[in-house]
Amino acid sequence: MSHSENLSTNQEWNKLLGEISSVKDFKNFHWEGSFSDYLDVVKKNPGVCRNAFQRMYDMVLSWGTSSYVEYKKNIVRYKFFDDPIDHGKDAVFGLDVQLMKLVHFFKSAALGYGTEKRVLLLHGPVGSAKSTIARLLKKGIERYSRQDEGTLYTFRWVDAKSGDHILGNQTEMPCPMHEDPLRLIPEEMRPKILEELNKGNKGYKVTITGDLCPACRYVQREFMKRYQGDITRVLQHIKVERLILSEKDRIGIGTFQPKDEKNQDSTELTGDINYRKIAEYGSDSDPRAFNFDGEFNIANRGVVEFIEVLKLDVAFLYDLLGASQEHKIKPKKFPQTDIDEVILGHTNEPEFKKLQNNEFMEALRDRTVKIDVPYITKLKEEIKIYEKDFNAIKIKGKHIAPHTVEMAAMWAILTRLEQPKKANLSLLQKLKLYDGKTLTGYTEDNVKELRKEAVREGLEGISPRYVQDKVSNALVNDKNGEIGCVNPFMVMNELESGLKHHALIGSDERRREYKELLAVVKQEYEDIVKNEVQRAISADEDAISKLCSNYIDNVKAYTQREKVKNKYTGQDEEPDERLMRAIEDKVDIPESRKDDFRREIMNYIGALAIEGRTFDYKTNERLHKALELKLFEDQKDTIKLTSLVSNVVDRTTQEKIDVVKTRLIKNHGYCEICSTDVLNFVASIFARGDVKKRS
């Protein structure tokens, strides 16, 4: 490459970097000004002084909401939990009610109704999205601090070197706990300043709670001595700067993970002495010689997450009491220090039971707000989890057959449901009711009652992680060579074979139950694919339309006691009772109900005519299904699907089968491989005479 070519390339790269650089953002993020400048900012935008709970609540709301009605109750969906920040990477599905409770906790805390003095505890089985919710909240508050509406500020001390060395050997000292600059205002001056700041304020009321951290309090006291109590001169040593929260930089977002009890140290929460600075300041009780870098310290103004919080040593849990109720922590050798942060923990059920049974931990139980995060019990929501992980973009070179993920999700949910108390209701029917399907004799109130009576539903069963692992196994399993397509039976075989090694299944009886549920799912899959093949065979719209027209002509003549003109002979004939009953029988209309059904059809057609609309069989789901089944019955013998089993297929039949395969591929998402497989599978069902109609 010549020098000129290289120069050109460098210029292009620099141009691209220049176009995507964020110089403007950098300047905005690094704003700084005097204390008076900050008071002007607060006067114009009091929201910069919000506390951690107010900021968290507003952050969630900033992404917007939607709502829907379920069981006659209005459910609010918070779009933030779809993870718009990372395009759905950490999206939470099927927990709208639980997430509503979570946001209500933040709202109550933001308004100062008491929950701001509690530890928020997410409780549920393994793999139920507790950590994901915590990760989302941390990610959200970090992003919010970079937005204009989420702006917040802190300060640093500045001082040219002087004889008294208040800042030691340095000319600047940032507030180690990133506190709000308003805390610099002495107690006796606060009412007057707050009165001025709150004039015309229609949002959260500006308040000043708590005192400076020990290091800033010491420095302020020394400057007050220097200037003989003149606060205006002391505040000239303050530089206010914008604060950007960052988990990686340990600013405003903390995470604590329990370790071996022998290695746990409370200084991880509240900071420790900086031994190198003792020589400079002369004492280990000088706050300038202390690192305020514990998780509670660095999480000030934001959020601290306690992973598996109830696995902490009891001594650590005591630190949570003051931190939650009083918003204070006790660093070693220093007075209680004020903090402003959301304390979020999550735990599994065994640890929570231990807390309940520990009489010495009543104080912590009393300061805890528990929100259950159960497994999903809605099929369509569970499917979304796996579709996110196993989509066409991520899985290259292999196709996942239709209903593969659906059947895995169905089995997972069946393991989480409690047996219904109603004898005539199966577990599979209960699953369908929960998923919004209708079932004769069951109303919304009945479904709501079903949920109420199953108090532990969703707290036990198979986790999504297990299903994800087994689907992954099926995708990489090359036992049968490079198949190129994964079908439901491959995944169900993986699910079943993994049960004997599953560490979280405690008994052989439970394993047997789960295997029996797999048999239920396999039967459901048979019914689904039979129905799909039937629809593919009878998908000739012209033929259905002609059959429908013939049926309607006969029904009209029957209800009006007329005769039907035979199109071929031109003769008037009695309505074709055999044709009408053949169609009605497909949707279980008994002989005793045939007159009612036929009148319903004619009334429906008449109502459409009054509105100036034309009848279309597709708008009547029941009639559409009956016509499809009748056409399938008429055509299945001409296609000779069962001949696939014997591998003896004549040319005419093969052409008809190819048409059906094309419909399966086009209309139902099959590929060449799985469409052939499913036709062979359904052919084997018909070969054994299993013609059970799908319910």
Q: Given this model, what pLDDT does residue 414 score? A: 96
Report if residue 244 sits inside a domain.
Answer: no
Based on the fold, state whether residues 503 and 391 are members of the same structural domain: yes
Q: Which residues contact 640 (CB under 8 A, 6 or more apart)?
A: 649, 653
> Of 38 and 277, which is predicted with more confidence?
38
- CA gap 361, 310 in Å, rounded: 11
Report if residue 431 sits inside a domain.
Answer: yes
Based on the fold, state whether residues 546 and 518 are members of the same structural domain: no
Angle, CA 406 vertex, CA 404 and CA 409 arms, to 5°: 110
- CA gap 665, 643 in Å, rounded: 21
- CA gap 251, 177 in Å, rounded: 9
Question: Most confidently modeled of 20-34, 156-170, 453-467, 495-509?
Answer: 453-467
**What pTM does this model have?**
0.84
pLDDT mean across residues, the chain: 86
What confidence tier does 692 reach under pLDDT thresholds 50, 70, 90?
very low
Report if residue 639 sits inside a domain.
Answer: no
**How many helices (H) and strands (E) in the chain?**
29, 19
Q: Given this model, what pLDDT does residue 57 score? A: 97
Q: What mean pLDDT do residues 254-267 have? A: 76
Based on the fold, state whether residues 409 and 500 are members of the same structural domain: yes
- CA gap 376, 385 in Å, rounded: 10
Token digits of residue 170: 């340095």
666, burial (CB in 10 Å: exposed 0-12, middle 13-18, buried 19+): exposed
- CA gap 300, 338 in Å, rounded: 9
Report if residue 337 sits inside a domain.
Answer: no
Concatenated DSSP letters of 553-620: HHHHHHHTT--EE-TTT--EE---HHHHHHHHGGGT--GGGHHHHHHHHHHHHHHHHHTT----GGG-
How many CB atoms neighbour CB 109 within 10 A?
Answer: 23
Based on the fold, state whether residues 607 and 492 are members of the same structural domain: no
Question: Most confidently modeled of 222-236, 475-489, 545-559?
Answer: 222-236
Token digits of residue 623: 């009639």
Based on the fold, state whether residues 510 and 544 are members of the same structural domain: no
Based on the fold, state whether residues 389 and 522 are members of the same structural domain: yes
- CA gap 92, 80 in Å, rounded: 9
Q: Given this model, what pLDDT does residue 540 score? A: 67
Could you read off the pLDDT of 70-120 as tens digits, one per residue? 888 899 999 999 999 999 999 999 999 999 999 999 999 999 999 999 999
Q: Are 31 and 241 in contact (CB under 8 A)?
A: yes
- Say if residue 609's pLDDT is above 90: no
Q: What is the percent of the chain with per-residue pLDDT over 90, rounded to a whole number?
A: 47
Q: Are 315 and 255 in contact (CB under 8 A)?
A: no
Based on the fold, state whether residues 473 and 591 are members of the same structural domain: no
> Of 359 and 499, which is predicted with more confidence?
499
* Beta bridge partner(s), residue 155: 240
Q: Are 180 and 154 in contact (CB under 8 A)?
A: yes
Could you read off the pLDDT of 408-443 as tens digits, one per residue? 999 999 999 999 888 789 999 999 999 988 887 788
**Which of 166-175, 351-360, 455-464, 547-556 is predicted with the least confidence, judged by mean pLDDT?**
351-360
Q: How far apart are the first and last CA of the chain?
A: 71
Based on the fold, state whether residues 420 and 467 are members of the same structural domain: yes
Q: What mean pLDDT do residues 1-20 have? A: 65
Could you read off the pLDDT of 308-351 as tens digits, one per residue? 888 777 777 778 888 999 999 999 889 999 999 999 999 988 88
Q: Given this model, what pLDDT does residue 695 score? A: 38
Backbone angles phi, psi at 455, to 5 degrees: -70, -25
Rg (CA), the chain: 35
Q: Given this model, what pLDDT does residue 480 score? A: 46
Q: Given this model, what pLDDT does residue 641 score? A: 58
Total structural domains within the chain: 3
Token digits of residue 43: 């006067």
Count of alpha carbons within 13 angstroms of residue 167, beta-carbon side: 15
Concatenated DSSP letters of 330-358: --TTS--EE---EEEEEE-HHHHHHHHH-
- CA gap 137, 139 in Å, rounded: 5
Q: What is the percent of the chain with per-residue pLDDT over 70, rounded to a whole number?
A: 90
496, burial (CB in 10 Å: exposed 0-12, middle 13-18, buried 19+): middle
Report if residue 406 sits inside a domain.
Answer: yes
Based on the fold, state whether residues 607 and 514 are members of the same structural domain: no
Asked which of 571, 591, 625 is the last residue of a domain, the reply is 625
Of 383, 377, 303, give the one whose Cα is nearest residue 346.
Answer: 303
Based on the fold, state whether residues 606 and 522 are members of the same structural domain: no
Report if residue 21 sits inside a domain.
Answer: yes
Q: What mean pLDDT do residues 438-466 have? A: 88
- Say if residue 503's pLDDT is above 80: no
Based on the fold, state whether residues 399 and 488 are members of the same structural domain: yes
Count of alpha carbons within 13 angstroms of residue 401, beta-carbon side: 25
Report if residue 418 sits inside a domain.
Answer: yes
Asked which of 526, 547, 563 is the last residue of a domain, the reply is 526
Q: Given this model, what pLDDT does residue 410 score? A: 96
Token pair 């069963």 is at which residue?
Answer: 461
- Say if residue 693's pLDDT is above 60: no
Amino acid at 201: N
- CA gap 611, 620 in Å, rounded: 17
Instruction: Give the range of the structural domain holding residue 14, as residue numbers without chain letter.
Output: 1-28
Asked which of 493, 526, 559 is the last residue of a domain, the reply is 526
**Which of 52-61, 359-368, 369-378, 660-669 is predicted with the least confidence, judged by mean pLDDT?**
359-368
**Which of 58-67, 508-517, 653-662 is predicted with the least confidence, judged by mean pLDDT?**
653-662
Q: What mean pLDDT do residues 153-162 have? A: 87
With H, G, I as helix, E, B as strand and everything else as coil, classify residue 484. coil
- Say if residue 224's pLDDT is above 60: yes
Token digits of residue 630: 């009748």
Report if residue 479 sits inside a domain.
Answer: yes
Could you read off the pLDDT of 583-603 as tens digits, one per residue? 888 878 888 888 888 888 888
Angle, CA 207 vertex, CA 340 and CA 154 arms, to 5°: 55
Q: What mean pLDDT do residues 560-582 have? A: 83
Based on the fold, state whether residues 515 and 600 are members of the same structural domain: no
What confidence tier does 278 reach under pLDDT thresholds 50, 70, 90?
confident
